[in-house]
Amino acid sequence: MVTLKDVTAEEVLFFLNVTDRNSRYGATGTRFGKTQNHILGIYAGHREGPSSLEVAREIALTLAKQGLDEKDTNYSKNIDERLKKVMYRDTLSSDEIKTVAIKVF
């Protein structure tokens, strides 16, 4: 999540173009790792939107809750266990994350 403050329309277009093209960041640029950016949406307003932490937390919780029944007596315990699995996975499906992130945001 990136916040731009007091920018012109041209600066927004420049940022989106650069973000779409970037595939390497920091140390990964000098090694073998690559990153693919996904622009999920744009929020414009006079107030700040939700923080990256809030969005990431809700995405993780939503993924952990998928397929669970709230009426189950072990609901909270199951969420905790599944949340740990989500947080420690090496990779997540980008399609799944896109869908959940758009809903959460």
Quote the distance between the C-alpha of residue 27 and its chain's center. Answer: 21
Q: Per the structure block, which two tokens stand in for 37? A: 């950016």
Among all chains, which residue has been given the structure tokens 């699995």? Answer: 85
Q: How far apart are the first and last CA of the chain?
A: 11
Q: Is the pLDDT of residue 29 over 80?
A: no
Q: What is the pLDDT of residues 32-51, one digit of tens each?
A: 667 778 787 787 777 776 77
Q: Per the structure block, which two tokens stand in for 8? A: 């012109």
**Measured distance CA(30)–CA(24) in Å, rounded:** 8
pLDDT of residue 33: 65
Percentages of the chain per state (helix, strand, coil), in multiples of 5: 55, 0, 45
pLDDT of residue 25: 67
Q: What is the pLDDT of residues 48-74, one digit of tens each?
A: 767 778 888 899 999 888 888 888 888
* The model's pTM: 0.55
**Measured distance CA(98)–CA(21) in Å, rounded:** 18
